[in-house]
Structure 1
Amino acid sequence: MDRASVVVITHNRREQLRGTLQRLAALPERPPILVADNASTDGTADLVAREFPEMRLLRLDENLGAVGRNLAVREVTTPYVAFCDDDTAWQPGALAQAADVLDAHPGLASVTGRCLVEPDLREDPITPELRFSPVPGPPWLPGPALLGVLAGLTMIRVSAFREAGGFSSRLWLGGEEELLALDLAARGWWMCWRGDVVIHHAPSRLRDPRRRRGLGIRNTLWTLLLRRPWRSVFRRAAAVLSEAPRDRTTAAAVAECLRGLPWVLRERAVVPAEVERGLRMLEESQRRSQARRYVG
């Protein structure tokens, strides 16, 4: 496939990555595949080099989180890139379908697909929020308008990704996509969801749910401070914290957020009014969401 590459980031999930890469290698589109190994210590990089020599391997010296994707995208030569986690897999035909949508709509930055969770292939709980997004979009938009992307489920226009600066090194991982999406929207790019672009997700058991929750809370608060008007910052921050468990993980996340205030305030750049209007329209669905609960 000469239109889209696939970028996979991974860290210490060797066996699950093997299965993911086997599935990606068997896709009929035959896309170029780049694997960014975030300093794994379990032999992941050696496995990729040995069993998948046709794939481009980036052996990173430290765990850079989402920035591993940025480094891989620097080497992408196709106009589009599909992001993939080591526990997700694009289904046959999905890459071609997403690329067709981007080909047909030059004002579109990204296409986020429908996630089916293995083994029973139920829709991910966040699907209704995407399918029924209230964000208004132009008549030409080929799906519900979004103000967010999900990295493991999204194909993005490389030029738009580079224009927006990619993923923030400050956020590392955990809701890091939201800041990128707001920066795309602020530059006039559109994002949409498509139910005919299907990705499977086999959630890895090799994760620290408390740490992920802490990162999610911290990064949500930082993103609010970086891009939302003050009234929205206080309203949404209060909502997020009221739903989070009152424990050490939440307290540590808030403390980490506060320690970052000097750089956050220096880099604060509020989104345009039309983007803020869309974000406010999303708040009710976010309040009712079962997929955005910080309870891990």
Structure 2
Amino acid sequence: MTATVVIVSKNRCNDLRKAIASCLSQTAKPQIIVVDDASTDQTASMVLREFPEVGFIRHEESRGCVLRRNEAAALASFDVIFSIDDDAEFSTPHVVEQALADFSESRIGALSIPLIEPRKGGEVQNRPPDDRDIWVSDTFIGTAYAVRRQCFLKVGGFRGDLIHQGEETDFCIRLLDSGFVVRLSNADPIIHHESPFRDLDRMHYFGRRNDLLFAANNVPAELAVLHMLATTVNGLRAAMSATERGAMLRGIGDGWWHALRALGGRCPVRRETYQLFRQLRTSGALTFSEVAPRLADSMPRGRAPDRQDR
């Protein structure tokens, strides 16, 4: 198998330099695509000057990492797409090579790669319970995943109107509904040096909004209202103890508004998929042998997220 590594970046020139260098050090020799989402710093000149071998796409208008990742996936040439944030790096030169070996079953559509976040304690996250079984997760984290390009495109990629936050979970439940799973990878971890320069209001607004859109877009009709009510209660509880309370409350209100507008274009997953997804979410992980008999035929149903590309 061959690999493409995608990095979407905006105004993190120095962080991006380290991320690209770690990609170039990989023994698997992946294709590398950097998408500049309208940076106003020296990102473009740095990449073109220091890394001429890297594919580079420059935009004058910012449209967010979700749409830019979709764009890069369409341009990727190889079998598997890896994505890391511009403030992340591979911990060793072997991560891509090791992760490719984890696509050992045809029903493995994506990988959740182990992750270290030094600013959050430095513990390894998303490590499988053991290396004897294939362990299946409900989702992956956007800075540490790999996905079969064919699966990504057939399922419809990330839902672009989410803009920011929550696109991974929305994608992974649709991937599961198409008969493919997310495996917990045995590869060496990715290190995410989370930048201190983050718009927390924006993150919390879209986080709460998109939790509700997840239900509106994906949850079977007979369960959607209950799911949305529970999501609202949980969101309100979180908002009451958060510094960004106003942003979260706006996100909940706008989430309901956008959810009602999305009702006409709903393409929910099967009830069996939803139940399996919920079990994976609450249990943490299940073995592939437990999950495989419950998978649907590996043929994606339509391409519901079409509107994201506009």
TM-score range, shorter chain: 0.7 to 0.9
Change (3 A) 1:245 1:122: same
Q: Distance in 2 between matches of 1:25 and 1:158?
A: 20
> Residue 145 of structure 1 is aligned with which of 130, 136, 139?
136
Matches within 5 A, 1:128-139: 131=128
**Equivalent residue of 1:109, what SS?**
strand
Change (3 A) 1:236 1:257: closer
**Equivalent residue of 1:7, what SS?**
strand
Match of 1:186 in 2: 177
How far off its partner does 1:17 sit? Answer: 0.7
**Equivalent residue of 2:190, what SS?**
strand
**Equivalent residue of 2:61, what SS?**
coil
How far off its partner does 1:233 sit? Answer: 2.6
How far off its partner does 1:92 sit? Answer: 1.7
1:82 maps onto 2:77 in alignment: no
**Equivalent residue of 2:75, what SS?**
coil
> Residue 163 of structure 1 is aligned with which of 138, 154, 171?
154
**Equivalent residue of 1:8, what SS?**
strand
> 1:110 is matched by which residue type in structure 2?
A
> 1:94 is matched by which residue type in structure 2?
V
> 1:171 is matched by which residue type in structure 2?
L
Matches within 5 A, 1:56-67: 56-65=55-64, 66-67=66-67
Q: Distance in 2 between matches of 1:279 and 1:120?
A: 27
> 1:260 is matched by which residue type in structure 2?
H
The count of corresponding residues between Structure 1 and Structure 2 is: 273
**Equivalent residue of 1:74, what SS?**
helix
How far off its partner does 1:12 sit? Answer: 0.9
Match of 2:265 in 1: 267
How far off its partner does 1:35 sit? Answer: 0.3
Q: Give TM-score scaled by structure 1 length.
A: 0.85
1:99 maps onto 2:90 in alignment: no
Aligned residues of 1:7 and 1:83 also touching (Cα < 8 A): yes
**Equivalent residue of 1:54, what SS?**
coil
Unaligned runs of 5+ in 1: 133-140, 287-296
Aligned residues of 2:239 and 2:249 also touching (Cα < 8 A): no
Matches within 5 A, 1:1-296: 3-65=2-64, 66-90=66-90, 91-102=92-103, 104-118=104-118, 122-123=122-123, 127=125, 131=128, 143-228=134-219, 229-230=223-224, 231-245=226-240, 247-282=245-280, 284=282
**Equivalent residue of 1:260, what SS?**
helix
Q: Distance in 1 between matches of 2:238 and 2:166?
A: 16
Aligned residues of 2:232 and 2:252 also touching (Cα < 8 A): no
Q: Give TM-score scaled by structure 2 length.
A: 0.81
Match of 1:291 in 2: none
Change (3 A) 1:100 1:278: same
Unaligned runs of 5+ in 2: 285-310
Match of 1:136 in 2: none
Aligned residues of 2:212 and 2:256 also touching (Cα < 8 A): no
**Equivalent residue of 1:58, what SS?**
strand
Q: Distance in 1 between matches of 2:276 and 2:120?
A: 34
Query: What is the CA deviation profile of residues 226-253 of structure 1, one whole-angstrom value per residue up to 9, with x for unaligned ones?
Result: 1112222322332233223372111211
Query: What is the CA deviation profile of residues 127-165 of structure 1, one whole-angstrom value per residue up to 9, with x for unaligned ones?
Result: 36x746xxxxxxxx9532122121211110000000111
Q: Distance in 2 between matches of 1:268 and 1:142?
A: 36
Change (3 A) 1:142 1:12: farther
Taking only aligned residues, the RMSD between alpha carbons, in angstroms, comes to: 2.3
How far off its partner does 1:284 sit? Answer: 4.6
Match of 2:304 in 1: none
Q: Distance in 2 between matches of 1:166 and 1:174?
A: 15
Query: What is the CA deviation profile of residues 52-89 of structure 1, one whole-angstrom value per residue up to 9, with x for unaligned ones?
Result: 11000111232222110111111111110101110111
Change (3 A) 1:96 1:108: same
Aligned residues of 2:102 and 2:185 also touching (Cα < 8 A): no
**Equivalent residue of 2:185, what SS?**
strand
